[in-house]
Amino acid sequence: MSVFEAFIRGIPKAELHLHIEGSLEPEQMFEFSRRNKVDIPFRSVEEVRGAYAFSNLQDFLDIYYQGAAVLHTEEDFRDLALAYFARLKADGGVHAEIFFDPETHTNRGLPFSIAVDGLLAGMKEAETRYGITSKLIMCFLRHLDEASSFRTLQAAEPWLHRIAGVGLDSSEKGHPPSKFARVFQAARELGLKICAHAGEEGPPDYVHEALDILHVDRIDHGNRALEDDALTRRLAKEGMTLTVCPLSNLKLCVVMDLKDHPMKRMLNLGLKATCSSDDPAYFGGYVGDNYIRTAEAVGLTREDIVTLAKNSFTGSFLDAASKAKHDRCDRRPRRRELTNEGAGGPTALKSRTNFIGAASSGETVVAIRPTGTSAGAPRSGGPRSQMKQAKPSHW
């Protein structure tokens, strides 16, 4: 593992765009199918991986829904969540806001409670086991009608105190945000946060609708907003968080080469971009891989990585008290010095950076400071300017 990779995996981060059903690995698909006696049209893990050779959103969704059919019990959803959180822990994740699709499960006969109670149990155990906090976001499937979304919102009422927000996912083309204006208004009146997939395959107009009709708190994806200069300036001015998913964009041919991904441009334009994995089991990488491969492809600097990680917290739905809780740590971390490498290889020794923590062992990296400064006196104006005597803190 290079020092730059260790830095990326070690820096504390939140993941804001993760479909929990999309973290179903082929091995889990077989495990759950055997557990629940569900027939699947694959004879081996290798056949499942071969079926992941899709090139557009609809082909992906077809196998995504097929995979979700093996999830039958609260235990399944709990185990699925815990497996994801273990991977997030290894990537330096300390908080996640995960999507789930109730209609995917209720439309095949499962009670609403099965998915939500199983996921909440997994989230609670992950906080105890890994120290990872999380929030649950309930998505409406946009290829269905708004009446279905209203039924889902009604079914969720007993759990609304445990659900942070609502989102909009599934096939984007032909299903604009305006199609769901009334149900999102109802969700907002219930006190739920609002987010929506927009500008992935759909046009910039869908981003406009998400902003002006759904009144979103953040945009999921948002790539195609860059086609509209005025919209781009507006997003930057308003500080609207974009939950960008580079490997998903590559797999679904939103970009044909990761070197063409707009992440670097987004940051240069002042957009509040974050980096997430979307459906990692299907798209070839969890959040750490998305950071690393994108950094290598487009030349993200260490400062860019810090910005992305910082945006993941400021763009989260955590309240001020919860964000403050993430700034505390019960153990005193080890201190060591590593020579920083950029995405393209080792940089000069003058770029040497001190890290507090052990990124490669999965411990949290809690401070970054240039060589030549003391732990108690970080560089003025730097990302750790508020750190005192190396007290663990995200920023």
> In this structure, are 66 and 91 located in the same domain?
yes
Q: Which of 6-10, 69-73, 165-169, 344-348 has the lowest mean pLDDT?
A: 344-348
Residues 173 and 262 in one domain: yes
| pLDDT for the residue numbered 94 | 96
Q: Are residues 214 and 361 in the same domain?
A: no
Are 109 and 223 within one domain?
A: yes
Residue 315 and residue 172 share a domain: yes
Q: Choosing from 5, 25, 200, 296, which is the catalytic residue? A: 200
Tally of domains in the chain: 2
Q: What is the mean pLDDT of the chain?
A: 85
Domain that holds residue 163: 3-323
Residue 200 bears catalytic tag: yes
Least confident of 68-72, 170-174, 198-202, 337-341: 337-341
Q: Both 272 and 393 in a single domain? A: no
Domain boundary among 289, 304, 323: 323
- pLDDT value of position 326: 59
Q: What is the mean pLDDT of residues 34-44?
A: 90
Q: Based on the domain organization, do 116 and 54 belong to the same domain?
A: yes
pLDDT recorded at residue 245: 98
pLDDT category at 246 given cuts 50, 70, 90 is very high
Of the listed ranges 29-43, 95-109, 371-385, the one predicted with least confidence: 371-385
**Tell me: the pLDDT tens digits for 119-146?**
999 999 999 999 999 999 999 999 999 9
Work out the average pLDDT over 311-322: 92
Based on the fold, state whether residues 207 and 342 are members of the same structural domain: no
Which of these ranges, 40-54, 153-167, 211-225, 339-353, has the smallest mean pLDDT? 339-353
**What pLDDT does residue 370 have?**
34
Confidence band of 96 (pLDDT split at 50, 70, 90): very high
| 358-367: average pLDDT | 35
Whether pLDDT at 340 is above 60: no
Same domain, 276 and 349: no
CATH number for the domain harbouring residue 207: 3.20.20.140
Q: Does one domain contain both 315 and 335?
A: no
Q: pTM of this prediction?
A: 0.83
With pLDDT > 70 as the criterion, what percentage of the chain qualifies? 82
Same domain, 50 and 137: yes
Same domain, 221 and 349: no
Where does a domain end: 298, 323, 348?
A: 323
**Mean of pLDDT values over 366-386:** 36
Check whether 75 has a pLDDT greater than 60.
yes
244-269: average pLDDT = 97
Region 203-221 average pLDDT: 98
Give the Cα separation of 219 and 230 in Å (integer): 16
Domain boundary among 289, 323, 357: 323
Q: How far is CA 244 from CA 17, 140, 241, in A?
A: 8, 19, 9
Tens-digit pLDDT profile for residues 53-63: 777 778 888 88
Q: What's the confidence (pLDDT) of residue 116?
A: 98
